[in-house]
Amino acid sequence: MKNVLLIASEAVPFIKTGGLADVAGSLPKYFDKTKFDVRVMIPKYTCIPWEYREKMVYKTHFYIDLAWRTQYVGVFELEWNGVTFYFIDNEFYFGGNKPYSWIHEDIEKFAFFSKAALSALPVLGFRPDIIHCNDWQTGLIPVYLKERFSQGEFYQGIKSIMTIHNLKFQGIWDLKKVKDITGLPDEYFTSDKLEAYDDANYLKGGIVYADRVTTVSETYAEEIKTPFYGENLDGLMRARSNVLSGIVNGIDYDEYNPETDKRIYNNYNQVTFRKEKWKNKVALQKELGLTEDKGKFMIGLVSRLTDQKGLDLVAYVMDQLCAEDVQFVVLGTGEERYENMFRHYDWKYNDRVSANIYYSEDMSHKVYAACDAFLMPSLFEPCGLSQLMSLRYGTVPIVRETGGLKDTVEPYNEYEGKGTGFSFANYNAHEMLGIVNYAKDVYYNHKREWNKIVDRGMKTDFSWNSSARKYEELYNSL
């Protein structure tokens, strides 16, 4: 039996700001319980809903030193979906109405969390063989494991894995202050360790000291060795390439299931979608005030409205994208200029463009179920979950070939009758427009081929099951 502790700054269903929470909360329940005991540890934020907080069971408390202060550490436990979750309690750090605040506060908060997490292990009586760290917030854990905790007999031989969910966020702050907060000796702050460009960098520390480094798709693992995607750490990624690998995320196939989904208008599956899926489209057209027409080609976009998501390409050819034979449904919030651009086109083409500048889980499911195609032209995309949801709902993804999008969407090939979506290679608005028009042509003029693309997409398996098997192999290789 291998013991694994997955440590992260968020996990569903307790607290979520992004895809990291899905991994930390969903992945553990898919491991083979006879071979792996996988538990999860996150902070006990006061903004976790009361329905979960009231069920947490107090385990123990103790004190640790952080910089020049002595800090209280409480440990709570809750079993959820057959997985044991531990919560590190300290209201000074984890109070407030959201999990993250200003970076200088977060730097101290997650130094505390890293030290507290490691200190809690002997008291909990759970000794992990592997500690699986996620993103910069846990970057200090592999460092501390090699530094002060390596003295203790309990910690001998514990291995660490560092998973990068998005290399853009690294936890960077002033070198002297970080030295003060972490209590790490000077020799840890050199350019081959925690120092980067005259600052301290938590993620870099984790990458340097972890036994294995993973990221959330195979293509992204290759891309981050290059300057364009490497966010100033490409040299380090190349240096660590012998321990670097990519494992694509999954989605929860119970929650995202068009056959049983309570959030959508009309249920369907891989066999019945030809007869049933369109009813979702007409119902959404009605709800959003678009022209009701089950034959109209409908494109969806559910996303944070930021540059990373390729929205400057969309802005550039928006008039052409909103051709008369297309409907375009947008859901999400983000940069003001994109919010306003979509509002403008909603005003200009009211019967065929619907801009929903808010976020709602219910509405996102409706969009995945109703649309014919889903647009995701990202500049970079470590893994991406929207395209996996689209495939699951029989909505054909149109993506740029980067990161996880390249690994999960097989481009349509009309000559071999293969493929689960459409893709373009260069970050170029007209190349994107060309592929959207190609998809539209297949939809209108080769309907049988289109339905076969949908069929193949709905047959793919991107559930957590397949990801969990790959993580099990990784754990065993340590």
Amino acid in the structure at residue 218: E
Hunting for tokens 């929207």 — which residue is that?
A: 386
List, in order, residues 6 or more apart from 323 with CB less than 8 Å away: none
Q: Is 239 exposed, middle or buried (0-12, 13-18, 19+ CB in 10 A)?
A: middle
C-alpha to C-alpha distance for 200 and 255, rounded to whole angstroms: 40
Residue 177 CA to chain centroid, in angstroms?
30
H/E stretch holding 389: helix 386-392
* C-alpha pair distances (Å), 228 with each of 204, 232, 233, 311, 409: 18, 9, 10, 18, 22
Answer yes or no: is 176 a known binding residue. no
CB 314 within 8 A of CB 335: no
Hunting for tokens 């999860």 — which residue is that?
A: 40
DSSP bridge pairs for 66: 69
C-alpha to C-alpha distance for 209 and 355, rounded to whole angstroms: 45
Instruction: Characterize the bridge pairing of strands 212-215 and 244-246.
Output: parallel
C-alpha to C-alpha distance for 444 and 186, rounded to whole angstroms: 65
H/E stretch holding 202: helix 202-209
Q: What size, in residues, is the chain?
A: 478
Residue 245 CA to chain centroid, in angstroms?
17
C-alpha to C-alpha distance for 446 and 190, rounded to whole angstroms: 60
* C-alpha pair distances (Å), 12 with each of 26, 134, 255, 269, 348: 7, 14, 12, 26, 39
CB 248 within 8 A of CB 264: no
DSSP designation for 411: B
Helices (H), 260-302: 273-288
C-alpha to C-alpha distance for 197 and 320, rounded to whole angstroms: 44
Secondary structure class of 41 (helix, strand, coil)? strand
Residue 426: CB atoms within 10 A of its CB come to 9
Q: What burial letters (b/e) apply to 254-268, b meaning 16+ CB within 10 Å?
A: eebebeebeebbbbb
Q: Which residues are annotated as a binding site for ADP-alpha-D-glucose?
A: 16
Q: Which residues are annotated as a binding site?
A: 16
